[in-house]
Structure 1
């Protein structure tokens, strides 16, 4: 596997992890009991910490990328393992 493929896989996992982690640990002004700024949306976060989000997304993306690359190299789960519909007609070895 080329290094560019590894970087692309890591980037995809990082973005996915960051978006999945966005809603966790965020509280609104009503939940915290803080004063609202005039014009502030009711759903606006009070304690958003982008640094913590980046660190968590980086760790999760590194773990998922390592698992993906290890599976690619070792072949633990292949397409045949997850093919729940079977071989389509006309594609099996008996059809040649």
Structure 2
């Protein structure tokens, strides 16, 4: 596998990880006991920690990419293993 392919796969996993991790660790003003600004959404976070989110997404993406590349090299799960129905399913 080319290093550029690995980089592209990492980027895809990074973006997906960032969206998956986005709602975790968020506290609203009601949960923190802080008064809201008039017109503010009820779900708005008290403080957005973008750096922490990106770091967690980068680590998760690196882990998932490493597992993906290891599976690609070793062939643990192949396309044939993912076919759950059809003539070769038995």
- TM-score, structure 1 length as denominator? 0.86
More helix by share: 2
Structural RMSD (CA): 1.2
1:75-86 mapped onto 2 (5 Å cutoff): 75-86=75-86
* Partner Cα separation in structure 1 for residue 43 and residue 62 of structure 2: 31
Partner of 2:49: 49
**Residue 47 of structure 1: how far off its partner (Å):** 2.5
Partner of 2:5: 5
Runs of 4+ in 1 over 2 A off after TM superposition: none
* Partner Cα separation in structure 2 for residue 35 and residue 54 of structure 1: 28
Q: Which moved more, 1:36-45 or 1:68-77?
A: 36-45
List per-residue Cα deviations over 1:33-83 (Å, max 9, x = no partner).
101112211111112211110110000000000000010011010011111
- The count of residues paired between Structure 1 and Structure 2 equals 88
1:17-28 mapped onto 2 (5 Å cutoff): 17-28=17-28
Structure with bigger gyration radius:
1
* Partner Cα separation in structure 2 for residue 54 and residue 12 of structure 1: 14
Structure 1 gap ranges (5+) = 89-96
